[in-house]
């Protein structure tokens, strides 16, 4: 349970998230995920990283129950810094990162997927940001990398989800397959990349980040500032308490 790393051989490193029952990631888990992706990218033997998860869904975001049972703002600050670190590790990874998404991908999961280089998904995968229902803001930066601007705003304001087929239509999901085929599909894409000259691929990753039209680090931190305002105003606690109370 937690964050684990394994090798598939041929230059492919798997980073797996496993926090039953729904992959709501605790504060330390976000930092562990960042470390795992960074370590994989630094290893010259790694040509590509596959980010995957065990269980019902890819990611349910931050562990709100952990946040609400922690006094003060330590858990909130930790979650914000941890998410920032994990999202940045995926984006800045020197080699391509493939996200393999099954089931639900919510909140922080959108941050990971939006910063990945390639996304493959199972046909039951759904993507969304429930942030406004939790009294928070964030990861619109990353959702905007998956869908057009007006759809992003509609999804954000309504806290609704979109399915993998729709994202494939918009070009942000590369392949949609039955869940049973997800891991092998991600590995097949990884193998296609891993056989390339890693010196060229690493240069290509750096070049593509360099010409990116969006500064994902700065824009995400800007969003997070409003989350802190909502917390100081007491609004966020109201919504998180309601969420935790409804999930007892």
| Best CA proximity match to 134, nearest among 39, 229, 244 | 244
Domains of the chain: total: 1
For residue 38, what are the domain limits?
2-182+193-245
Does residue 78 lie in a domain region?
yes
Residue with structure tokens 């598939």? Answer: 8
Does residue 35 lie in a domain region?
yes
Mean pLDDT of the chain: 96
CATH number at residue 124: 3.90.226.10
Residue with structure tokens 């891993």? Answer: 194
Does residue 65 lie in a domain region?
yes
Does residue 142 lie in a domain region?
yes
Tell me what percent of the residues of the chain surpass a pLDDT of 90.
88
Q: Give the pLDDT score at 231.
A: 87
Does residue 96 lie in a domain region?
yes
Residue with structure tokens 């690493």? Answer: 202
Q: Give the pLDDT score at 164.
A: 98
Does residue 187 lie in a domain region?
no
Does residue 188 lie in a domain region?
no
Q: Is the dihedral of CA 30, 34, 35, 36 positive or negative?
A: positive
Residues 109 and 115: their CA atoms lie apart, in Å, by: 10
Residues 48 and 109: their CA atoms lie apart, in Å, by: 19
Q: Is the dihedral of CA 111, 105, 57, 231 positive or negative?
A: positive
Q: Give the pLDDT score at 248.
A: 56
Residues 226 and 242: their CA atoms lie apart, in Å, by: 20
Q: Give the pLDDT score at 111.
A: 98
Report in angstroms the alpha-carbon separations of 20 from 36, 41, 59, 63.
19, 26, 10, 11
Where the chain has pLDDT below 50, the residues are none
Does residue 24 lie in a domain region?
yes
Q: Give the pLDDT score at 175.
A: 98
Ranges of H-type helices in the chain:
27-42, 64-68, 74-92, 108-115, 140-143, 149-158, 164-170, 182-194, 198-210, 216-232, 235-245
pTM exceeds 0.75, yes or no: yes
């Amino acid at each position: 349970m937690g964050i684990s790393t394994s090798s598939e051989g041929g230059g492919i490193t798997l980073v797996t998230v496993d926090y039953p029952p729904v992959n709501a990631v605790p504060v330390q888990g976000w930092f562990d995920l960042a470390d795992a992706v960074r370590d994989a990218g630094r290893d010259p033997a790694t040509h590509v990283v596959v980010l995957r998860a065990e269980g019902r869904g890819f990611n349910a975001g931050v562990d709100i129950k952990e946040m609400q049972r922690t006094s003060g703002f330590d858990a909130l600050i930790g979650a914000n810094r941890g998410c920032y670190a994990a999202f940045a590790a995926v984006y800045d990874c020197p080699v391509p990162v493939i996200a393999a998404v099954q089931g639900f991908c919510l909140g922080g999961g959108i941050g990971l997927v939006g910063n990945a280089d390639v996304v493959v998904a199972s046909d039951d995968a759904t993507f969304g940001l429930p942030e406004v229902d939790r009294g928070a803001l964030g990861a619109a930066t990353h959702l905007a990398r998956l869908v057009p601007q007006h759809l992003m705003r509609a999804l954000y304001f309504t806290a609704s989800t979109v399915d993998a087929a729709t994202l494939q239509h918009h070009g942000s999901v590369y392949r949609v397959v039955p869940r049973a085929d997800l891991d092998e599909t991600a590995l097949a894409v990884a193998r296609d990349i891993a056989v390339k000259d890693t010196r060229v691929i690493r240069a290509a990753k750096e070049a593509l980040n360099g010409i990116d039209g969006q500064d994902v680090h700065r824009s995400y931190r800007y969003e997070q500032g409003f989350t802190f305002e909502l917390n100081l105003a007491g609004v966020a606690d109201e919504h998180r308490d309601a969420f935790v109370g409804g999930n007892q």
